[in-house]
Chains A and B, each alone.
Chain A
Amino acid sequence: MIKSADVVIIGGGISGVAIAYNLAKKGVRNVAVIEKGYLASGSTGRCGAGIRQQWGTEMNCRIAKFACELFENANEELEYEGDIEFKQGGYLMISSTEKEHEQFKKNVELQNSLGIPSRLLSLEEAKEIVPFLNTDGLVSATFCQKDGHLNPFHTTDAFARAAERLGVKIYKFTEVTSIITENNRIKGVRTTKGDISTNVIVNAAGGYSQQIGKMVGIDLPIYSERHQILVTEAIDQVLEPMVMSFSLNLYCQQVPHGGLLMGRGDEGEPRDLRITSGWHFLEEMTKTITNVLPPLKNARMIRQWAGLYNITPDRQPILGPVDEVEGFYLAVGFSGHGFMFGPATGVLIAECILGEDTTLPIDMLHLNRFKKGELIFEPSVV
């Protein structure tokens, strides 16, 4: 293990490797990524593999749009030998209450004002996109063709390999045990494989971001919560877009390989770090999906798993430095959309660490917004 680094990144998910790649691309090559498992072993590799720009706050829309543009060129930019499997089959968001329909109208207006090509659809128009959609009880829909799917493992792999080619060191199966500070400045990190002295640490630990925060005495206003997913065996392509509903609490997309991947949240989840599979999820998921997309009742489920959402009070990430400890940066609290923001997170945090003007005004996502009470609540999260 190297003895010192310009920057140490904690977490080998999409955020961590994308930040490392962008730092190296800008010439900061003495960078170490510390990952306690293997790459994408946490929330990145457990996510629903969807990316969308249909958000309800300006910041989330802008980050998502920026990330989508980066995904469109990622295979080429990262010179990846494999394929990140980017498919822009769109997201069809369905509303089932008048209130949600009103929110959709506001969302589309906001999205269009930011250059996101989403549109409000009648139920008849929604059925043209997904002919077997059961519209009973639905009110309206929105659609954005540019939304879609990526393979999280290959995308993380692509960033990691590109970063390593530029000199970044990635330490898998290595756990951070403590962070060394002196006069409220970052001095180094202790790991199970040795110590690295550094003046800059990035907390990109996903579901475990609170634990890393506590290592420097910062109590992040975040909690982690299990979200579950199931996948069916691969079948012929029948479903082009992601179908998503906030009020019905579901999302479902057929990945390019052919499996139908679906998930939902659960109001009753305890706020802890468990990622075991539960029966209750299966019950609610299958009842809901066979109602909304009835032919899926014949699809055979082969696997279920779970991962952690790392949730902030306003469902927007916390990005940037902290006031309390010099050299400590946050890329945390993505509230279930860290994978889809990943490439943008990489650029923004790298710019922030280097003291450059950031491509987007991420000072709005600074940790101190919670103290100041400047919250803009994201209404559109499953």
Chain B
Amino acid sequence: MSDNNIICRCSDLTKEDIRRLIEEGYTTFDEIKRVSRAGMGPCQGRTCMPLILREISIITGKPISEIMPGTYRPPVKAITLGQIAEACTEGGNEHD
């Protein structure tokens, strides 16, 4: 994989970008996310998180199982604010 391959499609970050951040000392997914916006776009890290964890593992020498993944946050899929408000108003207690 070449260094200018895109790792985070939502925030347009290449492998080179990610490797530079790891080398600068951001060695957890959460830190890389916060400093670069990787994983903050519409896909919420579903594409980039495994790739970034692998890069951290390669550079730090730690197995992936020992590297803290990012937190998965709601919602699972993007949803409009109007859809939520409407479901709450009309749908009664559907979520109970």
A residues at B contact (CB < 8 Å) = 38-41, 45, 82, 153-154, 157, 232-234, 257, 277, 279, 282-283, 286-287, 289-290, 296-305
Shortest C-beta distance, B32 to chain A (Å), equals 10
In angstroms, Cα B35 to Cα A41, docked, is 12
User: Which one of A38, A277, A286, A303 contacts B40 once the chains associate, using CB atoms below 8 Å?
Assistant: A303
Given contact pairs A232-B81, A286-B81, A287-B88, a sample of 7 additional A-B residue pairs in the complex whose CB atoms are under 8 Å apart = A40-B34, A233-B41, A279-B95, A283-B88, A300-B78, A303-B73, A304-B75
User: Quick check: A287 and B89 within 8 Å, CB to CB?
Assistant: yes
Tell me whether chain A's interface is mostly helix, strand or loop, or mixed. Answer: mixed
B residues at A contact (CB < 8 Å) = 28, 30-31, 34-35, 37, 40-42, 44, 71, 73-75, 78-82, 84-85, 88-89, 95
In angstroms, Cα B84 to Cα A298, docked, is 11
User: Quick check: A282 and B84 within 8 Å, CB to CB?
Assistant: yes
Residues of A within 8 A of B35 (CB): 82, 153-154, 157
User: Quick check: B31 and A302 within 8 Å, CB to CB?
Assistant: no
Residues of A within 8 A of B37 (CB): 257
Known: A277-B74, A302-B41, A303-B44. A297 touches B81 (CB 8 A): yes
User: Quick check: A286 and B84 within 8 Å, CB to CB?
Assistant: yes
Number of A-B contacts (CB under 8 A): 75
Residues of B within 8 A of A153 (CB): 34-35
Residues of A within 8 A of B30 (CB): 38, 41
Known: A283-B84, A296-B81, A297-B85. A305 touches B73 (CB 8 A): yes
In angstroms, Cα B37 to Cα A326, docked, is 42
In angstroms, Cα B75 to Cα A238, docked, is 24
Residues of B within 8 A of A302 (CB): 41-42, 44, 75, 78
Q: Can you sample 7 A-B contacts with CB below 8 Å?
A: A153-B35, A233-B78, A287-B88, A289-B81, A299-B80, A302-B75, A303-B73
Known: A157-B35, A233-B42, A287-B88. A301 touches B75 (CB 8 A): yes
Residues of B within 8 A of A279 (CB): 95
In angstroms, Cα B83 to Cα A290, docked, is 10
Residues of B within 8 A of A283 (CB): 84-85, 88
The residue in chain B whose Cβ has the minimal distance to the Cβ of A257 is B37
Q: Which of B34, B37, B44 has the most chain A CB atoms closer than 10 A to its own CB? A: B34
Q: Which of A233, A287, A300 has the most chain B CB atoms closer than 10 A to its own CB? A: A300
In angstroms, Cα B44 to Cα A305, docked, is 13
In angstroms, Cα B92 to Cα A15, docked, is 43
In angstroms, Cα B34 to Cα A157, docked, is 10
Shortest C-beta distance, B21 to chain A (Å), equals 11
User: Quick check: A297 and B80 within 8 Å, CB to CB?
Assistant: yes
User: Quick check: A301 and B34 within 8 Å, CB to CB?
Assistant: no
Shortest C-beta distance, B30 to chain A (Å), equals 6
In angstroms, Cα B80 to Cα A282, docked, is 11
Which are the 4 A-B pairs with shortest beta-carbon distances?
A: A297-B82, A286-B85, A153-B34, A300-B78
Residues of B within 8 A of A304 (CB): 73-75
In angstroms, Cα B34 to Cα A233, docked, is 16
In angstroms, Cα B31 to Cα A301, docked, is 22
User: Quick check: A298 and B82 within 8 Å, CB to CB?
Assistant: yes
In angstroms, Cα B30 to Cα A305, docked, is 13
In angstroms, Cα B42 to Cα A142, docked, is 34
User: Quick check: A301 and B85 within 8 Å, CB to CB?
Assistant: no
User: Quick check: A290 and B82 within 8 Å, CB to CB?
Assistant: yes
In angstroms, Cα B80 to Cα A153, docked, is 27
In angstroms, Cα B84 to Cα A364, docked, is 45
The residue in chain A whose Cβ has the minimal distance to the Cβ of B89 is A287
User: Quick check: B80 and A300 within 8 Å, CB to CB?
Assistant: yes
User: Which one of A45, A287, A303 contacts B85 once the chains associate, using CB atoms below 8 Å?
Assistant: A287
The residue in chain A whose Cβ has the minimal distance to the Cβ of B85 is A286
User: Quick check: B73 and A277 within 8 Å, CB to CB?
Assistant: yes
In angstroms, Cα B41 to Cα A289, docked, is 22
User: Quick check: A301 and B79 within 8 Å, CB to CB?
Assistant: yes
Residues of A within 8 A of B82 (CB): 286, 290, 297-298
Shortest C-beta distance, B94 to chain A (Å), equals 11
